[in-house]
Amino acid sequence: MERGSLVTINEKIIYSPKGYKAAGLHCGLKEGDEKDLALIISDRVASAAGMFTTNRVCAAPVHLNREHLRNGRARAIVVNSKNANACTGDQGMADARQMAQWVGNGLDIAPEDALVNSTGVIGVPLPMGCLERGIQNIIPQLDVEGWDDASEAIMTTDTVPKKASVRCEIDGCEITIAGIAKGAGMIAPNMATMLAFVLTDAALSSGVLQDALCEAVTQSFNCITVDGDMSTNDTVLALANGAASERELTGADLRTFQSALNAVCISLAKQIARDGEGATKLITVRVDGAATGADARTVGLSVANSNLVKTAVFGRDPNWGRILCAVGYAGVAVDPDRTAVSMADIPIYANGSGLPFDQDRAIEALSASDIDIDINLNIGEASATIYTCDLTYDYVRINAEYTT
């Protein structure tokens, strides 16, 4: 492998970074035997970074993690699904601290080095008896091959686990970056109803790791939308423990790492969009020719959040009018006479009017599981890419029955 070259992103199995173990099990929060508790541990103190929901209504774990990350380090990440521990008052905060304490006691680490995460129904107290037993039981199961179990345990309405990993050679050392994520509904920038945990055996200071995570999230998790809703628990955490090389990355080596981190996060983000609640298609909205990057992003999100566009894709309807409508109300300067639109690689609009196209060919193209919508504003040089999914009957069913 040449210096700086990337191995193709692996979404099937996790390349385990050196010095980490993971586990997932059923502790009683979910019915049946579905896994609902995950734990990740680094065998040494790791630099830590995080990004969180911008919703002013934040869950207790978000507040606790912000507090624990002030020192820029962590050893463990614990996650429960089914219950968000959000809007649960002082008791919810006390329960989050107790989870950190149980992890700390079980692993013989400071509770401040444990990051706590919850996802699920809002406003319901945590069943602490289940979690205490679960944390006691999960610690002996920690394993370098425990990533599949951990990725399953953090799921809520997800239909599949989300995982991605990559290896790259940096300064003669093989560096691994691995991530798991959950998310299917209430997905919208900035940050979505999602959790993501990214681990690497590279060496970075907490400040550099925070900057790298911010760039990666900007290109990935903040470029996905399923339904325009934003949750109370959204969290992305990154740990870097230096187990592969203790030399901190700088210069070209850091840029290679950044590219790999971006790739892992983009893969996880696209997996979330593809698994949107009730979704049958991943939609990639590309906007080119915008005056600024912000304008391109705004137009892309306007189209991606349009229920009319999303239902048209579900119905295999090449309805360029819905796309143009969403472009026009995005709130940025556009010229419909200069704008061009393609759908599933079929040009459907240009020069101020619709273009002739083969309707049967378009319907066939829109039957694919991956649909591209390409918009060129022909105003400037800026571009953006947004990921979303179609809107189906099942989205309504899933959310109508969520707590019942």
CB atoms within 10 A of CB 260: 25
Catalytic residue among 53, 176, 193, 339: 193
Q: Looking at residue 355, what is its pLDDT? A: 96
**Which of 171 and 335 is assigned the larger pLDDT?**
335
Is-above-0.85 flag for pTM? yes
Q: Looking at residue 3, what is its pLDDT? A: 37
Distance CA 193, CA 335 (A): 34
Residues 110, 137, 194, 268, CA torsion sign: positive
Nearest to 24 by CA among 155, 132, 122: 155
- Give the three-state DSSP class for 208: helix
Q: Which top CATH class is 20-274?
A: alpha beta
Active site residue 250: no
pLDDT tens-digit series, residues 18-70: 999 999 999 999 999 999 999 999 999 999 999 987 777 788 999 999 999 99
pLDDT tens-digit series, residues 233-280: 688 999 999 999 989 999 999 999 999 999 999 999 999 888 877 788
Residue 251 neighbours by CB under 8 Å, 6+ apart? none
Q: Looking at residue 227, what is its pLDDT? A: 55
Which helix (H) or strand (E) is 353 found in, with range?
A: strand 353-354
Q: Looking at residue 231, what is its pLDDT? A: 53
* Partner residues linked to 73 by β-bridges: 47
pLDDT at residue 187 is higher than 50 = no
Q: Does the domain spanning 282-400 belong to CATH 3.40.50.620?
A: no
| Annotated domain spans of the chain | 20-274, 282-400
